[in-house]
Amino acid sequence: MTTNRLKVDDIKIFSDAAMAFFSQTTGHKAAVRTAYLLEGAETVVWNDFQGRIELGGHYRGSVTFSAPRGLLTHLLLTMGESSYTDASHRDVVGEITNQMSGYARRHFGEAMDISPPRVITQGEGVAPPGFAAAPFVIPMLWDRYEAHLVVRMGKAGSA
Protein backbone atom coordinates (compact mmCIF):
# COMPACT_ATOMS: atom_id res chain seq x y z
CA MET A 1 0.00 0.00 0.00
CA THR A 2 1.44 3.38 -0.97
CA THR A 3 0.66 6.70 0.58
CA ASN A 4 0.83 10.17 -0.91
CA ARG A 5 1.96 11.82 2.31
CA LEU A 6 5.53 12.99 2.73
CA LYS A 7 7.13 11.06 5.58
CA VAL A 8 9.84 12.12 8.02
CA ASP A 9 12.13 9.47 6.49
CA ASP A 10 11.60 11.07 3.05
CA ILE A 11 13.14 14.28 4.37
CA LYS A 12 15.67 12.64 6.70
CA ILE A 13 17.31 10.80 3.80
CA PHE A 14 18.94 14.07 2.72
CA SER A 15 20.44 14.89 6.12
CA ASP A 16 21.63 11.28 6.40
CA ALA A 17 23.47 11.72 3.08
CA ALA A 18 25.15 14.97 4.12
CA MET A 19 26.11 13.55 7.52
CA ALA A 20 27.59 10.47 5.84
CA PHE A 21 29.66 12.69 3.55
CA PHE A 22 31.26 14.49 6.51
CA SER A 23 31.85 11.26 8.43
CA GLN A 24 33.31 9.36 5.47
CA THR A 25 35.42 12.24 4.18
CA THR A 26 36.79 13.64 7.44
CA GLY A 27 36.22 11.00 10.11
CA HIS A 28 34.31 13.64 12.10
CA LYS A 29 30.55 13.43 12.36
CA ALA A 30 28.23 16.31 11.65
CA ALA A 31 25.30 16.90 13.99
CA VAL A 32 21.77 17.67 12.93
CA ARG A 33 19.95 20.32 14.89
CA THR A 34 16.18 20.65 15.15
CA ALA A 35 14.52 21.02 11.76
CA TYR A 36 11.92 23.71 11.26
CA LEU A 37 9.50 24.97 8.64
CA LEU A 38 10.66 28.18 6.99
CA GLU A 39 7.78 30.57 6.61
CA GLY A 40 9.70 33.84 6.27
CA ALA A 41 12.43 35.19 4.05
CA GLU A 42 14.48 32.51 2.30
CA THR A 43 17.71 34.48 2.68
CA VAL A 44 17.86 33.50 6.35
CA VAL A 45 19.45 30.13 5.45
CA TRP A 46 21.67 31.17 2.56
CA ASN A 47 25.41 30.90 3.00
CA ASP A 48 28.32 31.48 0.61
CA PHE A 49 27.87 28.32 -1.51
CA GLN A 50 24.77 26.31 -2.43
CA GLY A 51 24.26 23.04 -4.28
CA ARG A 52 20.83 21.92 -5.45
CA ILE A 53 19.09 18.91 -6.89
CA GLU A 54 15.63 19.19 -8.45
CA LEU A 55 13.16 16.38 -7.82
CA GLY A 56 10.30 15.14 -9.96
CA GLY A 57 8.00 12.16 -10.19
CA HIS A 58 5.60 11.25 -7.39
CA TYR A 59 7.04 14.11 -5.35
CA ARG A 60 8.50 17.29 -6.80
CA GLY A 61 10.62 20.07 -5.44
CA SER A 62 14.25 20.72 -4.63
CA VAL A 63 16.88 20.03 -2.02
CA THR A 64 19.59 22.61 -1.41
CA PHE A 65 22.75 22.28 0.67
CA SER A 66 24.04 25.69 1.78
CA ALA A 67 27.42 26.17 3.51
CA PRO A 68 29.63 29.07 4.55
CA ARG A 69 33.08 29.52 3.02
CA GLY A 70 34.78 28.79 6.38
CA LEU A 71 33.18 25.36 6.69
CA LEU A 72 34.18 24.42 3.15
CA THR A 73 37.73 25.73 3.56
CA HIS A 74 38.13 23.71 6.78
CA LEU A 75 36.67 20.68 5.01
CA LEU A 76 39.15 21.07 2.12
CA LEU A 77 42.02 21.38 4.62
CA THR A 78 40.87 18.25 6.47
CA MET A 79 40.67 16.40 3.13
CA GLY A 80 44.30 17.31 2.44
CA GLU A 81 43.54 19.74 -0.37
CA SER A 82 45.79 22.74 -0.95
CA SER A 83 43.52 24.80 -3.20
CA TYR A 84 40.96 27.04 -1.53
CA THR A 85 39.53 28.76 -4.61
CA ASP A 86 35.85 29.41 -5.25
CA ALA A 87 36.02 26.54 -7.76
CA SER A 88 37.27 24.10 -5.10
CA HIS A 89 34.54 25.26 -2.71
CA ARG A 90 31.91 24.74 -5.43
CA ASP A 91 33.33 21.26 -6.12
CA VAL A 92 32.87 20.23 -2.47
CA VAL A 93 29.30 21.54 -2.42
CA GLY A 94 28.69 19.60 -5.64
CA GLU A 95 30.08 16.40 -4.08
CA ILE A 96 27.83 16.74 -1.04
CA THR A 97 24.82 17.40 -3.27
CA ASN A 98 25.77 14.44 -5.45
CA GLN A 99 25.78 12.18 -2.39
CA MET A 100 22.28 13.45 -1.51
CA SER A 101 21.20 12.54 -5.03
CA GLY A 102 22.53 8.99 -4.64
CA TYR A 103 20.78 8.50 -1.31
CA ALA A 104 17.53 9.87 -2.78
CA ARG A 105 17.80 7.46 -5.72
CA ARG A 106 18.17 4.48 -3.37
CA HIS A 107 15.35 5.69 -1.09
CA PHE A 108 12.76 6.78 -3.66
CA GLY A 109 13.72 4.39 -6.47
CA GLU A 110 13.84 4.86 -10.20
CA ALA A 111 10.40 6.54 -10.24
CA MET A 112 11.98 9.68 -8.74
CA ASP A 113 13.42 12.03 -11.34
CA ILE A 114 16.55 13.65 -9.90
CA SER A 115 18.43 16.37 -11.75
CA PRO A 116 22.20 16.37 -11.83
CA PRO A 117 23.52 18.41 -8.89
CA ARG A 118 24.36 22.01 -9.66
CA VAL A 119 25.88 24.87 -7.75
CA ILE A 120 23.52 27.86 -7.63
CA THR A 121 23.80 31.50 -6.71
CA GLN A 122 21.95 33.23 -3.91
CA GLY A 123 19.72 35.12 -6.35
CA GLU A 124 18.18 31.87 -7.61
CA GLY A 125 16.26 31.29 -4.36
CA VAL A 126 15.37 28.02 -2.71
CA ALA A 127 12.43 26.85 -4.82
CA PRO A 128 11.44 26.73 -8.44
CA PRO A 129 9.03 29.53 -9.41
CA GLY A 130 5.40 28.77 -8.59
CA PHE A 131 6.19 26.11 -5.99
CA ALA A 132 3.98 26.79 -2.97
CA ALA A 133 5.18 24.28 -0.34
CA ALA A 134 7.12 25.85 2.53
CA PRO A 135 10.60 24.35 2.91
CA PHE A 136 11.95 22.35 5.82
CA VAL A 137 15.26 23.70 7.05
CA ILE A 138 17.66 21.26 8.65
CA PRO A 139 20.59 23.02 10.37
CA MET A 140 23.76 20.94 10.50
CA LEU A 141 26.83 21.54 12.63
CA TRP A 142 30.29 20.37 11.64
CA ASP A 143 33.23 21.44 13.73
CA ARG A 144 32.17 24.97 14.73
CA TYR A 145 30.32 25.76 11.50
CA GLU A 146 26.65 25.65 10.63
CA ALA A 147 25.34 24.61 7.22
CA HIS A 148 21.73 24.17 6.14
CA LEU A 149 19.74 21.68 4.16
CA VAL A 150 16.63 23.18 2.66
CA VAL A 151 14.15 20.48 1.60
CA ARG A 152 11.15 21.67 -0.36
CA MET A 153 9.13 18.69 -1.50
CA GLY A 154 5.49 18.15 -2.17
CA LYS A 155 3.26 15.52 -3.69
CA ALA A 156 3.07 16.04 -7.46
CA GLY A 157 0.03 18.15 -8.28
CA SER A 158 -0.52 19.41 -4.70
CA ALA A 159 1.83 22.36 -4.45
Helices 69-78 and 86-108 cross at an angle (nearest 10°) of 90
Distance CA(29)–CA(46), nearest Å, equals 22
The model's pLDDT over 76-107, given as tens digits with 9 standing for 90+, comes to 999 999 889 999 999 999 999 999 999 998 98
| Fold entry, domain 8-155 | Chemotaxis protein chec (3.40.1550)
Domain ranges, ordered by start, for the chain: 8-155
Of residues 123 and 118, the one with the higher pLDDT is 118
Q: From the centroid of its chain, how far is CA 66?
A: 7
The string of pLDDT tens digits covering residues 126-136 is: 555 445 567 88
DSSP state of 1: -
Q: Which pLDDT value is given to residue 157?
A: 65
Q: What is the 3-state secondary structure (H, E, C) of 52-68?
A: EEEEECCEEEEEEEEEC
pTM of the model: 0.86
Q: Using CA atoms, how far apart are residues 120 and 117, in angstroms rounded to an integer?
A: 10
- In this prediction, residue 90 carries a pLDDT of 94
